[in-house]
Chain A
Amino acid sequence: MEHKANSKYPISHIIGFLLSLLLTFAAVFVALKTQLSFTIVMWIIGSLAVLQAGLQLFMFMHVTEGEDGKANIINMAYAAFMAIVIVAGSIWVLTSGHAAH
């Protein structure tokens, strides 16, 4: 945890902030200014959102620091897995069934 306690400028925060802005505007551009199909747009902006969430976790929240850094990573990965199962699973189960009846 030799965190840059002595560094003068919050470099990683500034990089994280600029990248977050870039990802936000890229998502807006892809969603509203291109003629891509809805599915492709959702995959692209969904990926950009996951990237930006990762930026927050690593560059702002320092998820890996401290003696429990590994536990934090496992905890966040498990929470992300649960979130995907809950969201994708619910949508799948509750919408795809209609076609069969």
Chain B
Amino acid sequence: MSANVNTSLPLEYQTEQSRLNILGFWIFLGAEIVLFATLFAVYGVLGERYANGPTPNDIFKLKDVMIETLLLLTSSFTCGLAVFEMRRHRLKGLLTWLIVTLLLGLGFLFMEINEFIHYVHEGATMQTSAFLSSFFILLGTHGAHVTFGIFWAVMIIIQLIQRGLTPVTARKTFIISLYWHFLDVVWIFIFTFVYLKGMVG
């Protein structure tokens, strides 16, 4: 931790250790892209096999999908603002935007869980058809990532309150911000290739 401290850089890049952690996290995100690609591939292959069950047009509701999309997109923006505040060394601004980000993330999860419950009540469960199996696997994996991200961010917020802004807490905050933006990137593709595609036809 002690070697190569460069105070001319933003806090999260100041130590060699932090720079390696951040590089390592980018490599992890590369692996996450491939993980989600396999799930998109499954959906691409099976997404039109309805087994006489409901089709995307029967169950998708544009309004709910738009609310989810805007919540997650805005949370990605506020997460960016949190890092912007961190680079101005403003702990208060950082914490405020992080908490706003988390609330938006919770709103997204609330909408998504409601959506799934609604589908199940309409008889659209994981067991209904290959379309719905692959749909719930893809969306569920993304939702599980968002859930994990919320717990992770709560831990980071606690550390920031206890320890303040240090090179270590700044690096941890920067890494969760990369993770959170990544979840929005995945959602863009879910929005396009699952929801919009399903509603075009």
Write the residues of chain A forming the contact surface with B, with a CB cutoff of 8 angstroms. Answer: 1, 3, 5-6, 10, 13, 16-17, 20-21, 24, 27-28, 31-32, 38, 41-42, 45-46, 48-49, 52-53, 56-57, 59-61, 63, 66-68, 71-72, 75-76, 78-80, 82-83, 86-87, 89-91, 94-95
Give the contacting residue for B181; candidates A38, A56, A66, A86; CB below 8 A: A56
Interchain CB contact under 8 A, A13 and B84: yes
**Judging by beta carbons under 8 Å apart, are B181 and A60 in contact?**
yes
Closest B residue by C-beta to A52: B188
Query: Which residues of the other chain, B, contact A60 by a CB distance below 8 angstroms?
Result: 76-77, 79-80, 181
A48 touches B192 (CB 8 A): yes
Q: A45-B196, A83-B33 are in contact. Are A1 and B13 (CB under 8 A)?
A: yes
Residue B22 is within 8 A (CB to CB) of chain A in the complex:
yes
- Closest CB in chain B relative to A56 CB, distance in Å: 5
Q: Is B189 an interface residue (CB 8 A)?
A: yes
Asked whether A28 and B66 contact (CB < 8 A) given A38-B201, A91-B45, the answer is: yes
Give the interface size class of chain B.
35 or more
B3 CB within 8 Å of chain A: no
Residue numbers in A under 8 Å from B192 (CB-CB): 27, 45-46, 48-49
Contact B30 A24 (CB under 8 A): no
Q: How far is the CB of A4 from chain B (nearest CB, A)?
A: 8
